[in-house]
Each structure stands twice: as C-alpha cells, then as structure tokens.
Structure 1
Amino acid sequence: MTTWLHEERLSAVFAIIRDRRARSILDLGCGDGDLLLRLALEPQIERIVGVEIDPAALTRLQRRLDEAAPHQPPHRPEIRLVHGSMTEGGAALAGFDCAILLETIEHIDPARLSVLERNIFAAMRPATIIITTPNADYNPLLGVPSHRFRHPGHRFEWDRAKFLKWAEGVAARHRYAMVCRAVAGHHPTLGGASQMAVFDAIAPDGN
C-alpha cells in the first residue's frame, strides 16, 4: 500500500502529463515501477522507457509487468526497461515528450548533479521534464530530526529556496521555461512535503 505522500506526488505528476498530452515517457529511476505501472494504464501514452541502475529492482518491475499483463486494457503502450544510470546514455534516449524524475535526484551525489543536468537537459532534451524531491523545510512536520534525512539513501535534501535556485539555473542554461510548486500539503510557511519543478523546452523560435 502506498502512502498518502506518494499518492499526492503521483497525482501531481499525472496532472502535468495529461495537461501536456505526452505520448512518450521516460521514467528515470523507475525502481520497482509504482509510477511506470500506472503510466501503462494511461490511454494517451504510446511508449514508456524505464531506466534504473538497480538490476534487482528491474527484475521486480518486470515480474510486476508480467503479472499485470492479463488484466491490462486493450490499449497498452510499448514498454522497455533499461539497466543504466540517469547520468549516462542521454543521446540514445532523446526525442521523448516527457521525462520524469520522481523523488530520485536526492539519491545522486551532489557532485554529480552537473553531469545529470547535461545528460537530461542537453543530451536527452525531452519536451517536458518533471522533477519532484523532498522539501527539507517540511521535515519537522514529518518528525524528521534536523541532523537526519528522510531516507538513508538520500545524499541531500533541499529546502525550497535552494531547489528553486537550482531549477532556475538549469532552466536558464538549457532554454526551458520552469515553474515550481508544492506537493502534498500547503503549509503557510513550510510549503508541501515534496516540491515539484516542471520544465518545458523553449523552441528555437522562442515559443
């Protein structure tokens, strides 16, 4: 069973996908497939590629896809799973309508974020990029001590100001329009439990 926070994140992401009418999706850091399995049920989506560095997670995801196959609606997108890193192989994954990084960037070493940025925003360059990540400002409301992160696998957790500054810089460097919003709660001073940046590529003619 998923948590309320995870459900809120998924709902926020799907709202953007539907609004942009995305037909081809990159799920970067797809893990066991909570997002990917739901994407497969979206009638507008024609192609999904999931990228994950953990081979055991890909094995579990493939098993889940196989188990779900008999219960799928007539429409089912083409699905491909790739064992790889979000910081590598970008040119081979170019041309997608939307790339999603759902609570994944905080698992990257901060020193590698510039590599991640170039790989996704320059080499892959999907039309829309959706990134969600924990909002460190909200941690006290979740009972997370100030000296700890929410998950032992996190390498960092950004407050809203730092995430916004990073997202604005990325957007400017790679010609994307960007908006940030709170996800899962709207505390008047602390924001939401997660935060989301949505990047839309700016065409060469400026539109």
Structure 2
Amino acid sequence: MHYKIWDFFCTEENYPYWQDQIQQSQEFNWITWGKIRDFLRVIEQPNPLSHQLLQANHIEQFIQIARDNGYQLTQEELAWFVISQKQIWDCLALAQQTPSLKQQLLSTQNPDEFIKIAFDQGYYFSQKELAWLLIDIKSSSSLVSINNSTGDAFCISNIGHIVMGYWVGLAEKWGLVPPFSNLSQPGNGLFGDEQDPFFLDQCFLPRGYFNQRLLINSL
C-alpha cells in the first residue's frame, strides 16, 4: 500500500510541491503521527479497505474512502508523514553509502548537530520526526531482538540496506529515544508468560540507563 501513497506525494512531479507545502504548514504532533502510522499498519494487511484504497486514482479519492471507513485524514497530514519519513530515510541511506558522512553523523553530540548536518546535505526534518521514526522502529516487535537479560547486547534488524542499530543507539545516547525496547508495559506484574514481549527477560536497559536524562518528554 505504501507504493500507492508514494505515487500521490513522491513522484518527480508531485514531490517538490508537497515538500514546499509541508515546510510552510503548521507543525504536526505525535498524535497525528501515531494516527497515520496506525492507519498505514491497518491497510498494509489484506482487507476490504486495502482493496478499496488500491483502486483510488487520486489522493482526493483515497482520502474520501478512508473517511468513509472512519479514518479522518487530510492530504496535508499524509503528505507530512510520508515526506518527513522519506527525508529521514534518504539521509540515512546516503550515510550508509558514504562512510565519511556516516562517521560525521555518528560523532554528533546532540540532535541539533545531527539535524544541521542533514540540512547541509539537503534533507529537511525535525528532531521530533527523527525521534518518532526511531521510536516506531525500536518499539516494533518485528524489528527488535533482545539477545540477553543484562542489557549488554541487542540487535536491530536492517531496513533495506540501512543498519538501524547505529541510529537508534545514537538517539538513545542523546536521550531522544527511550531506552526500553517497548514503550508501554501492561499491568500484569513483573512475572508472566515467557512469550510476553514485556516480560523482564525480554526487555533491555542499555549501559548508562539510570543516569540518562530523556528529552522525549519535551517533544
């Protein structure tokens, strides 16, 4: 389904227009990000709504079908989500291919430095957008693998050819991404099913957790 949305916003003829619109628009928030993220997760699965949306020939029709099915979205919100993510992914992809840029980004001491270097390379995104994307990646059970119970090792899968562990670890170091592998824990006590992803043995605390000052609360 993402390729359909990509066509609406990221083709050669559409991308410059929407990129300009997003930079001039009001700043969206975490609620909007989460709303669109959850919507995309739903329509990535085979279901009647996904089939209807695949038949949409233009963004207005796509939005109307979504609204008819209870999803209140706007073109601007979808464009912001898609283009912000594209900017971040393109920046990380370039870094993966360019060792000097990768080292420069990994050497940054705070997210402001990172954003500035990305901007100098022609990529425009905010600290918040970077944090939200990395949080989504880290909190996804399909991407995060816990190797032990001590917090000394963890593995985050590649996405495409981009190794995500570098960037999630860097954002943890800054305090931009929470250190837990999962963001919200169910109220079932400390012990439970061994397959429960929130069971203590399957969560990790990286080195330095107890002296970290998280910035995410201010986002």
Higher relative contact order (CA 8 A, sep 6+): 1
Larger radius of gyration: 2
Q: TM-score, normalised by structure 2?
A: 0.33
Name whichever structure is richer in strand by fraction: 1
